[in-house]
Amino acid sequence: MEQNILDCVIIGSGPSGFTAAIYAARADLKPELFTGLEPGGQLTTTTEVDNFPGYADGVTGPQMMMDLQKQAERFDTKVHYELITKVEFATEVGGIHKLRAGTREILAKTVIISTGATAKYLGLDDEKKYAGGGVSACATCDGFFYKGKDVIVVGAGDTAAEEATYLAKLTNKVTMLVRKDAFRASKAMIHRVENTPNIEVKFNHELIGIEGENSLVERVVVINNVTQETSKIDVHGIFIAIGHKPNTDIFSGQITLDENGYIKTVPGSTHTNLPGVFAAGDVQDHIYRQAITAAGSGCMAAMDAEKYLAELH
């Protein structure tokens, strides 16, 4: 029996994956989407989404992803609740890409990679316990909920400095916990932190515990790693800003990645170094990392895939 060769396979099911599916399906590419282990992606861990256009009253992350999936399925996108574990990409124009999900082999003329990035956490049990109750990895997503309150930011790099200065505009006070005795951030970002009056930086401090009632954060336990002295700080929000890890392990060695593991795309497009393979969303964007920018690049990827297929004929 001859194996079916699909026009378009989408790996990943966040805003970029489903938007790519909507556009690809409407272009009659009959896309098949593989959700991976976290259907809906990072957004399913976000309780309230208030910054996505069109939801005037806000929406929960899981609900928004269900809406996007329904829209993709309305145009006959096939959704598989499976994980792609191995890829063998063709290197020549018009080549057939081979993907594996469990024991099944999938053949495709184009592949859109929308596997996203995973926020790095410290690994404390309390982080899971208070997820959605005050622990976040995205200030621009969740900062608004802490207007006039006290928060802490954990991290020492540019992301942490940026999140702290962003939060300082909204909140009463930001305490930064920096594990070492200096920032890793750029000079410009350090100056911004130093010139913001309501940011207090605690060097040589680490977060070791979170306390609160009803899974809502009320205070944190921190340790001074020089004196070993512990103390408590009353806060409502905790922002972990120690970076993201793009989900690109299965592509390394085939797709060109940057030094942090993000997929490199041709500027102004979603093209990767391989013909017929496109990347959209947080897997190739370490700057904006928003649902709306991911959705926009998902649209671009589907249009790039459609154009690529049209030029083959």
Report, as residue numbers or ranges, the catalytic residues. Answer: 138, 141-142
Alpha-carbon span 255 to 88, nearest angstrom: 10
Give the span between the Cα atoms of 18 and 32, in whole angstroms.
10
Written as one string, the DSSP assignment of 171-238 is SSEEEEEESSSS--S-HHHHHHHHT-TTEEEEETEEEEEEE-STT---EEEEEETTT--EEEEE-SEE
What is the C-alpha separation between 14 and 270, in angstroms, rounded? 16
Please report, to the nearest 10 degrees, the dihedral formed by the alpha carbons of residues 67, 69, 71, 72 taken in order: 160
How far apart CA 279 and CA 272 sit, in angstroms, is: 7
Contacts of 24 (CB under 8 A, 6+ apart): 7, 8, 10, 31, 77, 112, 302, 305, 306
The letter for the amino acid at 270 is: T
Q: Shortest CA distance to 300 belongs to which of 282, 278, 273?
A: 278
